[in-house]
Amino acid sequence: MNPANPSAPDVLVLRPGHVSLAELRRIQAGGVHLRLDPAAQAGMLAAQATVQRIVDEDQVVYGINTGFGKLASTRIAHDHLADLQRNLVLSHSVGTGEPLPDPVVRMVLATKAVSLARGHSGVRPALADALLALANADVLPVIPAKGSVGASGDLAPLAHLACVLIGEGQARVQGRVVPGREAMAAVGLDPFVLGPKEGLALLNGTQVSTALALAGLFDAESVFAAGLVSGALTLEAIKGSVKPFDARIHEARGQAGQIAVAAAVRALLEGSAIDPSHPHCGRVQDPYSIRCVPQVMGACLDNLQHAARVLRIEANAASDNPLVFTDTSEVISGGNFHAEPVAFAADIVALALAEIGAIAERRLALLLDPGLSGLPAFLVRESGVNSGFMIAQVTAAALAAENQCLAHPSSVTSLPTSANQEDHVSMATYGARRLADMVRNTAVIVGIEAMAAAQGIDFDRVPAPGAAPPAPWLKSSPPIEAQLAAIRARVAFLERDRYLAPDIEAMRLWALRTCWPETLRRILPSSAS
């Protein structure tokens, strides 16, 4: 919020090459007014002048006055250059499927503007400004989710974005889908007549793949934090040992994520009266799903950290083709549109999501087994007449299995396109898009575990019907007690079987929160940027 005008959105100045993960999170959430750093304009104008000089001197340069892909050797006459760019945008608008979510489209608009503003695309600054104008007005191009192989850039989805700039295609304005021309009018602009290279610059690039992967990363951070909380709740419910979280164990190995997770869990449990209450319980070692939380979740954190580094770089990248280098007046063809880094990053986020859910599901199964947990069977007092959490665990298992299938790397899949000119592709767009399904699955699994763990803890606190109130119970740490209160604000103790689907949905939303304890937030990649 702007302190000078509380009703006005915050202004976020985008410095091409230096946009942080935290800033990208703000863009995704909306409610910020985006501006390009004025210093970027000089580089854009210089690159545009280089392109115009090539046209004026009648040089033959790919993407400026030639065909595209397999038609790169076809020279285009001066009087057809505008048609060339317009036809490129229209011919590539072949996406299918449901539209991309609004938060993703906001990031696509912003990162495409940042990419153009790097000064290597040869387009006029007004195009980048128009992209931000659409984002600021929440006039969002309708971009079908499917149709990109993540190699010559995200051609089809970005073509749908570019269509709006030329007055074609569709956009959402105040909840209505309107033609591109009307969308441009809504932000006070006329449709563009694209100049040399401008259509190609808009279509080339990895912005859709990157925005989808960033959305997956940000949500993965939330369910990661939720998974640490649910794991700590389960440890308290079964009266497990905190000794495996001793800093000395993790320092002896040296893995950074493992060390950070162990420290975070220790901080979560600091001050708990439950942990020291059972020194002679006879439990020698907890199952791996409890004991190895630092090792498993730490490895997940390391994966998220690596993916975050790659995606931040990519969100700031000049990823179209060819690129303009004004210091030598050269236009050089390359392959920065190939989204292999994004594909790999999406794949490792997928692996992390699958493992966060897998270990949470195993802890859930532990909670339901009285032989392992010491709690009533299926976490309900009168099991038999009541099934308790029995089938909620089946749901968790189904989703964990689904995630295992979805975690198969997309980056190892490649089908050639464009008559074998584009003979190796990344499939990054699918790889990033499937993260949304995996996040949803994992949030449900972790949410069910947290609800079940709260049930386990509350057996010592909630009297059975007709029973006397329990004596003052042992409290966990202040952070864990706060999480228990947050859970109970959403779902009630399960005294007998009831319609559980609404409770599971409430806990899914709990797992997707961003307001986690500081000890967790500080280790998340987007908080550290």
Supply the residues annotated as catalytic: 62
Q: Which of 240, 219, 198, 231 is nearest to 89 (CA)?
A: 198
Residue 507 tokens read as: 């806990």
The 176-179 sheet, strands edge to edge: 140-141, 170-173, 176-179
Q: Which of 150, 184, 149, 147 is nearest to 166 (CA)?
A: 184
What residue type is assigned to position 522 of the chain?
Answer: R
User: What SS3 class is residue 83?
Assistant: helix
Distance of alpha carbon 115 from the chain centroid? 20
Distance of alpha carbon 334 from the chain centroid? 28
- Cβ atoms of residues 416 and 381 within 8 Å: no
Q: Which of 127, 139, 131 is nearest to 179 (CA)?
A: 139
Longest dimension (CA), the chain: 93
User: What SS3 class is residue 100?
Assistant: coil
Q: Which residues contact 504 (CB under 8 A, 6 or more apart)?
A: 392, 395, 444, 447, 448, 451
**What HEC string does 330-392 produce?**
EEECCCCCCCHHHHHHHHHHHHHHHHHHHHHHHHHHHHHCHHHHCCCHHHCCCECCECCCHHH
* Beta-bridge partner residues of 176: 173
221 class by beta-carbon count within 10 Å (0-12 exposed, 13-18 middle, 19+ buried):
buried
* Beta-bridge partner residues of 34: 12
Element (H, E) at 246: none
End-to-end CA distance of the chain: 20
For residues 400 and 443, what is the distance between their CA atoms, to the nearest angstrom? Answer: 11
